[in-house]
Amino acid sequence: MINASLKQLSQALVAKQISSRELTQLFLDRIAHLNPTLNAFITVDPEKSLKMAQAADARLAAASGGEPAGPLTGIPIAQKDIFCAEGWRTTCGSKMLANFVSPYDATVIHRMQAEAGLVSLGKTNMDEFAMGSSNETSFFGPVRNPWDTSRVPGGSSGGSAAAVAARLAPAATGTDTGGSIRQPAALCNLSGLKPTYGVVSRYGMIAFASSLDQGGPMAASAEDCALLLNAMAGFDERDSTSLDRPREDYARDLEKPLAGLRIGLPREFFGEGCAAGVMAAVQAAIKEYERLGATTVEVSLPNSHLSVPAYYVIAPAEASSNLSRFDGVRYGFRAEDYASLDDMYMKSRAQGFGAEVKRRILIGTYVLSHGYYDAYYLQAQRIRRLIADDFVEAFKVCDVIMGPTSPSTAFKLGERAADPVQMYLSDIYTIAVNLAGLPGMSIPCGFAGGLPVGLQLIGNYFAEARLLNAAHRYQQATDWHQHRPEGVV
């Protein structure tokens, strides 16, 4: 059961081979056993989880008579601790929210749990306020990669990635502002999808950079991701950036043959700067796609080298504004001693935020300040346009763009922690996708030095079903996504 797909779990639950309660207990036991090593969860609450499982069992029992329960009813999953969940501590990986028990549900949580009947196994660890690429900025300590516990799982959705890779959960949610679903998926041998901006509601998802943040699924396979996205996505009037489009079945095209698929290979993603082992695995995956009937064409994203610089203006600018709400007044951490209101703000924020979050607030404050706004913020937004236009050009000649997700495999804990710029460059292939607002995926495509390598698939706007189709057909022909870390699973 611990390695079963969501479809298999659903069938077992409907056939009464196992109850949701039993299944939930099975994963709670694995969490109790392995989480002390991996630190993938910040909060687990077995009593709450089992109560949800019991309710799901009741829904499943009621459904066998008449109305069918949703296809995911009773399946337990892990929720990234960036999603507010009513009655659950929701920390966002920060001391600032270490004791914050959310009084409401994020739309994603409501849809997945109250509507789709998924059970929550708990809240997963993450970089503080999703700012990081290694999960080392979490106030609750780093997460360890189940493939090698001396290495990072990636970030910021590192806890979700480690939890699914070690099978502490069958699947999880993540969020992706600059690569935070795709990079940890790559580093932990998972499939992860960042949808088109506006497809998944951001209501109740603690904001980092509002024009870039997007929630999405992380799971063993593309098929699992499709089923989860069905439960997560959809218009939400509570999110002013949510797109009012008809609901889609993201699994509808999974089985479509790949004959005629045109794969664009950006020359900028196949040059220097990528580890040889990663490149070899990515090249082999593209050969496999050609065997499956796809054709390749070289494309160019000439401004992609500017994506990291532009991102480190835009994301911190938005973060500095979003995080101004943490002032120790209405919720969150308040310093013990202070002399005045201003002093209370200054001390609460100094003590409540970690070093990386403070750095980004300072960058954001500076680039938005008088006299620098045009040179930095507007220039970054203009470059953002150039980057988005490059994709428009590329998609004139191809259906899907492919390349590496991350320039390296999982690095050692502490290896890049001292140099922010080194860390930022971990996301060199993923950030442009967020700036353009496109959907992107990472899927397992092999190993380098015993560590997983991710293949990145980038689609045109709203091409999620196409990406999932391309990923699924590849996973039918290969078994990289079925490899599990030895000694853990």
Partner 1 sequence: MSLTLEQVQRIAHLARIEISESEAGTTQGQLNGIFRLIEQMQAVDTTGVEPMAHAQDVAQRLRCDAVTEADHRAAFQAVAPEIEAGLYLVPKVIE
**Site residues for partner 1, window 225-264 (CB under 8 A)?**
237, 240-241, 243-244
Residues 6-65 that bind partner 1 (CB under 8 A): none
Binding string to partner 1 for residues 265 to 304, with x set by CB under 8 A, is what? --------------------------------------x-
The correct pick among 353, 391, 395, 411 for binding partner 1 (CB under 8 A) is 353
Point out which span in 182-190, 378-386, 408-416, 472-480 binds partner 1 (CB under 8 A).
378-386
Spatial neighbors of 415 by CB under 8 A, at least 6 apart, are: none
Select 95 or 349, whichever has its Cβ closest to partner 1: 349
Select 162 or 357, whichever has its Cβ closest to partner 1: 357
**Contact predicate 218/121, CB 8 Å:** no
328 near partner 1 (CB under 8 A): yes
Least separation, in Å, of the C-beta of 349 and partner 1? 5
Q: How many residues bind partner 1 (CB under 8 A)?
A: 72
Least separation, in Å, of the C-beta of 176 and partner 1? 13
The correct pick among 14, 50, 386, 488 for binding partner 1 (CB under 8 A) is 386
The correct pick among 3, 419, 449, 482 for binding partner 1 (CB under 8 A) is 419
- Residue 77, beta-bridge partner list: 120
436 near partner 1 (CB under 8 A): yes
Between 6-14 and 46-65, two packed helices, what is the crossing angle to 10 degrees?
60
Omega prior to 10 cis, within 30 of 0: no
Select 262 or 305, whichever has its Cβ closest to partner 1: 305
**Contact predicate 120/48, CB 8 Å:** yes
Residues 104-163 that bind partner 1 (CB under 8 A): 104
Verify whether residue 80 is a known catalytic residue.
Answer: yes
Q: How far, in Å, CA of 448 to CA of 480, rounded?
A: 12
Closest CA to 309 of 154, 388, 424, 392: 424
CA atoms within 13 A on the CB side of 77: 34
Least separation, in Å, of the C-beta of 489 and partner 1? 37
Verify whether residue 180 is a known catalytic residue.
Answer: yes
In Å, how far from its chain's centre is CA 134?
A: 13
Least separation, in Å, of the C-beta of 198 and partner 1? 5
The correct pick among 384, 466, 472, 481 for binding partner 1 (CB under 8 A) is 384
Pairing of strands 119-124, 76-80: parallel
Q: How far, in Å, CA of 135 to CA of 383, rounded?
A: 28
Point out which span in 142-150, 429-437, 440-448, 463-471 binds partner 1 (CB under 8 A).
429-437
**Contact predicate 409/450, CB 8 Å:** no
Instruction: Assign 77 to helix, strand or coil.
Output: strand
Closest CA to 153 of 178, 124, 193, 117: 124
Q: How far, in Å, CA of 207 to CA of 212, rounded?
A: 10
- Residue 193, beta-bridge partner list: 441
Spatial neighbors of 209 by CB under 8 A, at least 6 apart, are: 177, 314, 315, 316, 318, 319, 322
Task: Check 10, 19, 133, 180 and give the catalytic one.
Answer: 180
Strand order in the sheet with 295-299: 41-43, 119-124, 76-80, 171-176, 214-219, 191-194, 440-448, 451-459, 400-404, 262-266, 295-299
321 near partner 1 (CB under 8 A): no
Select 10 or 430, whichever has its Cβ closest to partner 1: 430
The correct pick among 385, 392, 449, 482 for binding partner 1 (CB under 8 A) is 385
Least separation, in Å, of the C-beta of 328 and partner 1? 6
380 near partner 1 (CB under 8 A): yes
Residues 190-219 that bind partner 1 (CB under 8 A): 196-198, 211-212
101 near partner 1 (CB under 8 A): yes
Point out which span in 48-56, 63-71, 369-377, 391-399 binds partner 1 (CB under 8 A).
369-377
Q: How far, in Å, CA of 394 to CA of 392, rounded?
A: 6
And the tokens for 130?
Answer: 């999703």
Task: Check 20, 49, 80, 406 and give the catalytic one.
Answer: 80
The correct pick among 27, 41, 88, 100 for binding partner 1 (CB under 8 A) is 100
Point out which span in 38-46, 75-83, 354-362, 406-414 binds partner 1 (CB under 8 A).
354-362
The correct pick among 28, 261, 294, 310 for binding partner 1 (CB under 8 A) is 310
89 near partner 1 (CB under 8 A): no
Least separation, in Å, of the C-beta of 419 and partner 1? 7
Spatial neighbors of 353 by CB under 8 A, at least 6 apart, are: 94, 95, 96, 128, 323, 326, 361
Residues with active-site annotation: 80, 156, 180
